[in-house]
Amino acid sequence: MTGVTVTAQGFEVDAVTIANAFGLDPAQLQERMRAGEVTSLCEKGVDADAGRFRLTFRHSGRVLRLTVDEGGAILKQSTFDAKGTRPASNSHG
C-alpha cells in the first residue's frame, strides 16, 4: 500500500509515508505509535471543503498534514514545525 486507503473504519495511511515525514523507518514509527509518541487527528471538511479530509500526524514537535479526497487521493502534503506545542511525553503516574 502507498499513500492513503479508505477502509470501513476511515483512512489508513501507509507507514512509509508517515515515517519518511519524521525521518524514521517504519519499525521505529510503529514503536513510537505504540508508546503514544505519535498522535493523529482526522478532520472532515465542510462547506467549500466538503469531500476533503485533513489527516494530521504529530511527533517530536513536527507535523505531517495530508489533505485527501473521499477516495483517499492525496491532494496536498506538508511537513512543518509545530509552533507552540511540545513533544509528546510518556509519563507514568
Domains: count for the chain: 1
Domain membership of residue 93 (yes or no) is no
Three-state secondary structure call for residue 63? strand
Q: Which domain holds residue 27?
A: 4-81
Q: How confident is the model at residue 1 (pLDDT cuts 50, 70, 90)?
A: very low
What is the pTM (predicted TM-score) of this model?
0.83
* Least confident piece of the model among 22-26, 47-51, 72-76, 80-84: 80-84
How far from 44 is each of 35, 51, 57, 62, 79, CA to CA, in Å? 27, 8, 15, 22, 19
- Is the confidence at residue 92, as pLDDT, over 90? no
Domain membership of residue 62 (yes or no) is yes
Domain membership of residue 86 (yes or no) is no
The stretch 44-58 carries a mean pLDDT of 97
Whichever domain contains 12, its CATH number is 3.30.505
What's the angle, vertex CA 51, arms to CA 81 and CA 26, rounded to 5? 45
- Is the confidence at residue 53, as pLDDT, over 90? yes
Cα–chain-centroid distance for residue 65? Answer: 6
Q: What is the pLDDT of residue 85?
A: 53
